[in-house]
């Protein structure tokens, strides 16, 4: 009798787990997600700046699941709880039994409660809806400039958080403004991009090469970088800093922190201060050998006990490991502890410019880095599209 594997979450990790599990004929797979689409968060910077369209950052999950030769069941619903003893996933529309469970619910923007007004007056990019709202705001601003409105004063667009997402959003918006200078001229010069972070440097935790390359690019685009700057509070007009200074702003995108998705809070298992699960060395949680957590919803460490960054790369590596672990467990084989490393980092820095580092010693920046990053992203996106195209064909066969 086939084993039932339930995957909660259609992000990078969830999809990679399904891909690998689908190779086993004796496994039945169910993917459940509250959203009917897979959101390519790594491409959010280009979407909110208007360079990418919706079809570049969202893929229909039902169509994707239908693209497998062996049926993958997709359920569009919200998971409300998990009954570990009963091996049941509870959802709004009922419950789903499982033999093995993979939790891949990702993360959400952590609008820090100690910054008064942050949640009410800023946007995040972890959710497609928020990215869409921000895109509309940005396009409306450019449109008003085209109509020769909002002239006579600086319009400050603020990015809170100078990590990977923050610098990518800042660079892309600044690049778009540079492009518009060629068509509507000086009208857009009053739009200023501010990148604010409490750290001493942008991109804390990455290599000196990437920090310097990124800072140089941001400077060339006119991005105003404020480091070691602490936000105390916000209202609908001003950002107030701890040093008693303030900055008038038009809108703000906050990328300064994450916390695990809401489902984590409902489960009585060990978690860290941002609600990520703390797993064992095999990525099991709650002392359950048949329950795994992958991606941003879990604190993942390598063999040296170093916490890996919450990136798509980490999510995919952990997904591959867990899919393989389930297969080995079914075959009664030994399972080695999880171990991985960051193979490379690429940062999109506006237009056809990127900076990247592969294997710790190959360093590239500029157009060549852009081409490498684009090739990696295109390969991933092409895989999704091919699966969906297969789904169209499979559906036609079933309808005939």
Domain of 122, CATH number, reads: 3.50.50.60
Mean pLDDT of 148-159: 81
**What percent of the chain shows pLDDT beyond 70?**
97
Q: Are residues 126 and 245 in the same domain?
A: yes
Single residue among 208, 226, 254 that ends a domain in this structure: 254
Confidence of residue 255 (pLDDT cuts 50, 70, 90): very high
What's the number of domains the chain is made of? 2
Does the residue 190 lie in any domain?
yes
For residue 211, the SS3 value is helix
Mean pLDDT of 131-153: 82
Q: Are residues 79 and 124 in the same domain?
A: no
Does the residue 367 lie in any domain?
no
Choose among 209, 287, 196, 193: nearest CA to 239: 196
Q: Are residues 138 and 230 in the same domain?
A: yes
pLDDT at 133: 87
Q: What share of the chain is helix, strand, coil (3-state, %, to 5)?
A: 40, 25, 35
Q: Kindly report the average pLDDT of the chain as a whole number.
A: 91
Mean pLDDT of 226-240: 96
Q: What's the rounded Cα separation, in Å, for the pair 4 and 383? A: 25
Confidence of residue 151 (pLDDT cuts 50, 70, 90): low
Handedness of CA 215, 122, 15, 67 (dihedral sign): negative
Handedness of CA 18, 37, 92, 276 (dihedral sign): positive
Q: Are residues 123 and 231 in the same domain?
A: yes
Does the residue 392 lie in any domain?
no
pLDDT digits (tens, 9 = 90+) for 29-83: 999 999 999 999 888 888 888 888 888 889 999 999 998 877 899 999 999 999 9
Q: What are phi and psi of 308, to 5 degrees?
A: -85, 145
Query: Burial level of 195, CB count in 10 A (0-12/13-18/19+)?
Result: buried
Single residue among 205, 237, 254 that ends a domain in this structure: 254
**Plot region of 120 (φ>0 → left; ψ -120 to 50 → alpha; else → beta):** alpha
* Whether pLDDT at 391 is above 80: no
Q: Are residues 211 and 326 in the same domain?
A: no
- Among 133-137, 152-156, 162-166, 252-256, the minimum mean pLDDT is found in 152-156
Does the residue 369 lie in any domain?
no
Between 261 and 49, the more confident residue is 261
Count of H-run helices and E-run strands, the chain: 10, 22
Confidence of residue 299 (pLDDT cuts 50, 70, 90): very high
Between 341 and 210, the more confident residue is 210
Does the residue 360 lie in any domain?
no
Please work out, in degrees rounded to the nearest 5, the angle formed at the alpha carbon of residue 311 by the alpha carbons of 306 and 317.
75
Q: Are residues 126 and 232 in the same domain?
A: yes
pLDDT at 144: 84
Mean pLDDT of 280-299: 96
pLDDT at 181: 85
Mean pLDDT of 301-306: 91
Q: Are residues 189 and 139 in the same domain?
A: yes
pLDDT at 183: 82
Residue 396: which H helix or E strand, with range?
Answer: helix 367-399
CATH number of the domain encompassing residue 31: 3.50.50.100
pTM: 0.92
Q: What's the rounded Cα separation, in Å, for the pair 208 and 192? A: 26
Q: What's the rounded Cα separation, in Å, for the pair 248 and 239? A: 6
Q: Are 57 and 51 in contact (CB under 8 A)?
A: no
* Whether pLDDT at 395 is above 80: no
Does the residue 146 lie in any domain?
yes
Q: What's the rounded Cα separation, in Å, for the pair 130 and 104? A: 21
In terms of residue numbers, what domain contains 23?
3-109+258-342
Q: Are residues 93 and 165 in the same domain?
A: no
Q: What's the rounded Cα separation, in Å, for the pair 221 and 366? A: 13
Residue 354: which H helix or E strand, with range?
Answer: strand 354-358
Start-to-end CA distance of the chain, whole Å, equals 30
Q: Are residues 128 and 199 in the same domain?
A: yes
Long-range Cβ pairs for the range 181-185 (8 Å, 24+): 184/145, 184/146
* Whether pLDDT at 392 is above 60: no
Q: Are residues 319 and 210 in the same domain?
A: no
Q: Are residues 124 and 243 in the same domain?
A: yes
pLDDT digits (tens, 9 = 90+) for 318-377: 999 999 999 999 999 999 999 998 888 999 999 999 999 988 789 999 999 999 998 988
DSSP code of residue 337: P
Mean pLDDT of 370-394: 79
Residues, the chain? 400
Does the residue 350 lie in any domain?
no
Q: Are 252 and 123 in contact (CB under 8 A)?
A: yes
Burial 206-243 (b: 16+ CB within 10 A, else e): beeebbebbbebbeebebbbbeebebbbbeeeebbbee
Does the residue 380 lie in any domain?
no
**What percent of the chain shows pLDDT beyond 90?**
70
pLDDT at 163: 94
Q: What are phi and psi of 316, to 5 degrees?
A: -70, -40
Q: Are 26 and 118 in contact (CB under 8 A)?
A: no
Single residue among 327, 342, 357 that ends a domain in this structure: 342
Q: Are residues 294 and 221 in the same domain?
A: no
């Amino acid at each position: 009798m086939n084993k039932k594997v339930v995957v909660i979450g259609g992000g990078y990790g969830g999809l990679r787990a399904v891909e690998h599990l689908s190779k086993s004929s004796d496994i039945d797979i169910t993917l459940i997600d509250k959203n009917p689409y897979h959101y390519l968060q790594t491409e959010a910077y280009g979407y909110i700046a208007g360079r990418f369209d919706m079809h570049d950052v969202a893929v229909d999950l039902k169509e994707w699941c239908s693209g497998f030769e062996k049926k993958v069941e997709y359920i569009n619903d919200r998971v409300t709880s998990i009954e570990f003893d009963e091996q049941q996933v509870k959802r709004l529309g009922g419950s789903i039994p499982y033999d093995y469970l993979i939790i891949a619910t990702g993360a959400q923007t952590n609008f820090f409660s100690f910054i008064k007004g942050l949640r009410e007056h800023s946007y995040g990019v972890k959710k497609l809806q928020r990215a869409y709202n921000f895109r509309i705001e940005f396009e409306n601003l450019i449109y008003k400039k085209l109509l020769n409105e909002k002239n006579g004063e600086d319009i400050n667009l603020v990015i809170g958080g100078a990590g990977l997402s923050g610098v990518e959003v800042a660079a892309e918006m600044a690049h778009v403004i540079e492009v518009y200078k060629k068509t509507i001229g000086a009208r857009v010069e009053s739009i200023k991009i501010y990148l604010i972070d409490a750290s001493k440097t942008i991109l804390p935790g990455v290599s000196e090469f990437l920090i310097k390359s990124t800072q140089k690019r941001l400077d060339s685009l006119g991005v105003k970088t404020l480091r070691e700057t602490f936000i105390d509070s916000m209202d609908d007009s001003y950002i107030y800093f701890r040093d008693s200074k303030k900055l008038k702003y038009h809108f703000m995108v906050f990328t300064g922190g994450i916390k695990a998705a809401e489902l984590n809070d409902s489960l009585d298992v060990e978690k860290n201060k941002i609600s990520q699960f703390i797993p064992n060395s095999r990525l099991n949680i709650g002392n359950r050998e048949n329950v795994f957590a992958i991606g941003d919803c879990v604190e993942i460490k390598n063999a040296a006990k170093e916490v890996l960054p919450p990136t798509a790369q980490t999510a995919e590596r952990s997904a591959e490991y867990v899919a393989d672990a389930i297969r080995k467990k079914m075959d009664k084989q030994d399972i080695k502890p999880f171990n991985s490393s960051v193979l490379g980092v690429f940062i999109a820095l506006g237009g056809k410019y990127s900076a990247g580092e592969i294997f710790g010693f190959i360093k590239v920046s500029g157009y060549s880095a852009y081409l490498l990053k684009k090739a990696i992203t295109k390969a991933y996106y092409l895989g999704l599209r091919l699966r969906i195209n297969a789904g169209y064909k499979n559906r036609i066969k079933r309808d005939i």
